[in-house]
Structure 1
Amino acid sequence: MTAGSSRIAFAQALRGLAAVSVLLSHYTQHFWTNRTTAGALVGAPIWDGPSPGVLALHLALPPGFAGHFGVAVFFLISGFVVPLSLIGRGRAGFALGRVLRIWPTYAAGLLVTMAAVWACARHFGNPVPFGIGQWLAHLLFVQDVLGLPTIDGISWTLAIEVRFYLLCLLIAPAIRAGAVRPLLVAGLVLAGLSAVAAAIPWPPGGQAAREELALSAQMITFMLVGTVFAAFHRGTAGGAACLGTGAALLGLFALQWAGGIMGWQTVPGLTAYGCALALFGGLFAIRHRIRRVPAPLDALARISYPLYVVHAVAGYAVMHLLLEAGAPAWAAILATTALALAAATLLHLLVEVPTQRAGHLVSRGEP
């Protein structure tokens, strides 16, 4: 991160922190507290050995805090930086740039996950827990609305990300102008559509689609808070307008959470998202003084997307195999983390960097 980009260096630092938070939530909490799910995802028997001592740290926090916190930070960063990438680009250039930014890396990471799951399931003599239909649905980011089981454990957030891109395309003029009132209108429409969808009858099998689309509306409302920060950062909207719009969006977000499929997690979820927002807002307030990101955090930030894509279920497969081979829990966690970092680095260098460069070129209309 150079001094020339210091005004958004805080977002780069947060990427690294978010990546670590999500990875730790999976490797040091969810794998051990949701053992049935972890085994089913990788075609392995339920691990019945002792849990690592680090699990006690998670139990001292609100349920699922680390995972919620990391995802919330990623959503705020996307809400902040993605609209900025619309400036100076047409809709077609923006869309193509976004496709090249996320799809090739995701597709490659999904193949890594599928290979790890295949190896794990075959090792234990069990069938591979996914088929070609699930794979294709994941590649199109529609697996959630089709009610299909997840392959990688993280694709639901990327499906929401893609839908946020579509909203950005829809309200592109307002985003380029840096106006915040249209963002509130968008939040109201999203909340209204969720309420209407909940009130009308759906055909058999359509309940999953309704719930997942409502979840997307809920999280996109939260992402729009990041877009409000972007408008203030650009100086296109005043502090009072941004504060009022942001508060209203947060209220809509909380209402959607309480009434949605994650309603049972309302208090711990909103606590984690509130902490993420407080950290984001605090660093945003001193963004002009944040000149550089510490090297380790910057390195994590650079590989944060491929790490996010590849770490979860592939990591579960690796940990099952290591534990079955006799490795203690702490060693399995460390070894799996090292392998995830190595795989993410390779994906970053071999896939993400070249396709991201191509995305910058084509989205700017350069030869």
Structure 2
Amino acid sequence: MSKPIPSPRTPGAEPQRPPASASRRPRLRALDGLRLVAALMVVAFHWTGVNRYPTVWLGTPEKLMPGLQQVSAYGFLGVQLFFLISGFVICMSCWGRTPRQYFTSRVVRLFPAYWVAILLTGLVVNYAATARPTRAHLNMTDFLSNMTMLQQPLGVAEVDPVYWTLWVELRFYLLFAFVVVFGLTYRRVLGFCGIWMILSVVGRGSDNKLLELFVMPEYAPYFIAGVVMYLIYRFGANWLLLGSVGFSFLVAQHQLLGTGASFKYGVMHPLDWGVMTVFCLFAFGVVLAAAMGALDRIQWKWLTTAGALTYPVYLLHQEIGFALIRWIRLQGAGVWPTLAAALGAVLLLSWLVHRYAERPLSALMRRMLDAPGLALPKSDPPVRSRAATTEPSAVPAEGAATR
């Protein structure tokens, strides 16, 4: 690994990337594995950690599987792990790209699987035997509004409640776009992280709702730490970067107080801050280890496929999973066979969506978005000849007869 720490004689100098032969690193398959872990944690939380929907299991998980429920009650922390990885991966995938390439990469990554998931989940919610009697059916305007992925700011009911995290991701992409516009460099990215951290801390205690909306105080430390960890991966570790990661963790552990209070509603029992903080420390540590090369030996090829399935699994598992679990339980199956069958079905459905919908739709959308006609011209395009008929000289005089 390179030694990027600036020389004392050139304070503040930007670390130089080593030659390609010296900087080659294998694919970070460990991050694919961590994404799978995060997705399965969220699945476990909704399926076996939440006690608020006894109609799903025909009883509460706390009574049917008490040992598992006590652990999976903390599965919501998989979202925090997702955000850490997202900060790392977005910075990595967008380095050296133009704003247009950045926009295209985010659109083709997010929307194809999301649109298919909305269609499938909407059909289940509206036409299948719902596992939650209080779940309202979707009308057409709500369904169409969800297609934008902006249902939260529009004040529209979500097709699936898990989609709330997509609005968080979209705001991160919007913030990061400001750096992409100017070009990603060590200094700019690090400066962006510092400014964002300051605004997120200040924003939480202010009365400025707009500021708080965009700087996302509860989740900013995870995205920021992920971005800084990519700088460590690209340029090597130094005390400034490691200190930034540590500072992000210190802010994150405090924000967990509010996060735990939010998820207590679903699990219906107290959540221990110490347990949450230990997992948060583990999440920071394992992603940092990947950034510093400690997990480069993990090169199992199946992890790439598993990583590709995490997004469809996340999108499809809750409402569809609830309906599956209830249906299987009504057939008289036990708790553990039901859990295994539902997980297998959701994994199979996720693979089908990825293989036969997400991949071809992503390729099609990429070709469309890369079309020359979609590029913004540097100046106004030439006026079409038909527009000449609107020139004052070509307009009939007032009152002139028309044929």
Conservation of the 8 A alpha-carbon contact between 2:146 and 2:156: no
Q: Aligned equivalents of 2:240 and 2:61: distance in 1?
A: 52
Deviations 1:197-241 (A, max 9, x none): xx25x7xxxxxx998x37944213311110001111110x75111
Deviations 1:1-54 (A, max 9, x none): xxx862422212212222222222222322xx2215xx5xxxx8x833776865
Measured after TM superposition, the shift of residue 347 of structure 1 is: 0.8
* Structure 1 residue matching 2:94: 3-state secondary structure: coil
- What stretches of structure 1 of length at least 5 have no aligned partner? 203-208
Percent pairwise identity: 21
Q: TM-score, normalised by structure 2?
A: 0.72
1:205 alignment counterpart: none
Alignment RMSD (CA, Å): 3.5
Q: Is 2:117 aligned against 1:118?
A: no
1:218 alignment counterpart: 218
Instruction: Please tell me the residue identity of whatever aligns with 2:350.
Output: A
Conservation of the 8 A alpha-carbon contact between 1:22 and 1:66: yes
1:65 alignment counterpart: 74
When residues 133 and 366 of structure 1 are mapped into structure 2, their CA distance, relative to the original with a 3 A threshold, is closer
Q: Aligned equivalents of 1:124 and 1:28: distance in 2?
A: 15
Conservation of the 8 A alpha-carbon contact between 2:230 and 2:291: no
Query: 1:13-28 alignment to 2 at 5 Å?
Result: 13-28=33-48
Instruction: Please tell me the residue identity of whatever aligns with 1:189.
Output: L
Q: Is 2:325 aligned against 1:307?
A: no
Deviations 1:149-192 (A, max 9, x none): 44313111111111111111012267710332321111212332
1:186 alignment counterpart: 196
Q: Aligned equivalents of 2:313 and 2:176: distance in 1?
A: 25
Question: Which 10-residue stretch deviates more, 17-26 or 123-132?
Answer: 123-132
Measured after TM superposition, the shift of residue 359 of structure 1 is: 6.2
Q: Aligned equivalents of 1:121 and 1:178: distance in 2?
A: 53
Q: Is 2:279 aligned against 1:272?
A: yes
2:289 alignment counterpart: 282
Deviations 1:128-148 (A, max 9, x none): 533334333433333334554
Conservation of the 8 A alpha-carbon contact between 2:86 and 2:223: yes
2:173 alignment counterpart: 165
Q: Aligned equivalents of 1:258 and 1:239: distance in 2?
A: 30
Q: Aligned equivalents of 2:61 and 2:196: distance in 1?
A: 48
Instruction: Please tell me the residue identity of whatever aligns with 2:38.
Output: A
Q: Tell me: higher relative CO, structure 1 or 2? Use CA pairs within 8 A at least 6 residues apart.
A: 1
Q: Is 2:58 aligned against 1:47?
A: yes
When residues 190 and 125 of structure 1 are mapped into structure 2, their CA distance, relative to the original with a 3 A threshold, is closer
Conservation of the 8 A alpha-carbon contact between 1:12 and 1:293: no
Instruction: Please tell me the residue identity of whatever aligns with 1:247.
Output: G
- Pick from 357, 371, 386 the counterpart of residue 351 of structure 1: 357
Conservation of the 8 A alpha-carbon contact between 2:200 and 2:215: no
When residues 245 and 362 of structure 1 are mapped into structure 2, their CA distance, relative to the original with a 3 A threshold, is farther
More helix per residue: 1 or 2?
A: 1
2:162 alignment counterpart: 154
Conservation of the 8 A alpha-carbon contact between 2:199 and 2:215: no
Q: Aligned equivalents of 1:125 and 1:274: distance in 2?
A: 39
Conservation of the 8 A alpha-carbon contact between 1:65 and 1:272: no
Q: Aligned equivalents of 1:109 and 1:353: distance in 2?
A: 14
Q: Aligned equivalents of 1:219 and 1:172: distance in 2?
A: 21
2:233 alignment counterpart: 233
- Pick from 319, 328, 332 the counterpart of residue 325 of structure 2: 319
- What stretches of structure 2 of length at least 5 have no aligned partner? 1-23, 265-270, 374-403
Measured after TM superposition, the shift of residue 101 of structure 1 is: 0.8
Rg larger for: 2
Query: 1:331-350 alignment to 2 at 5 Å?
Result: 331-350=337-356
* Structure 2 residue matching 1:218: 3-state secondary structure: coil
Q: Aligned equivalents of 1:111 and 1:127: distance in 2?
A: 17
Conservation of the 8 A alpha-carbon contact between 2:203 and 2:215: no
Query: 1:53-132 alignment to 2 at 5 Å?
Result: 54-59=65-70, 61=71, 64-68=73-77, 70-121=78-129, 128-132=136-140
Instruction: Please tell me the residue identity of whatever aligns with 1:135.
Output: F
Conservation of the 8 A alpha-carbon contact between 1:9 and 1:290: no
Conservation of the 8 A alpha-carbon contact between 1:105 and 1:306: yes
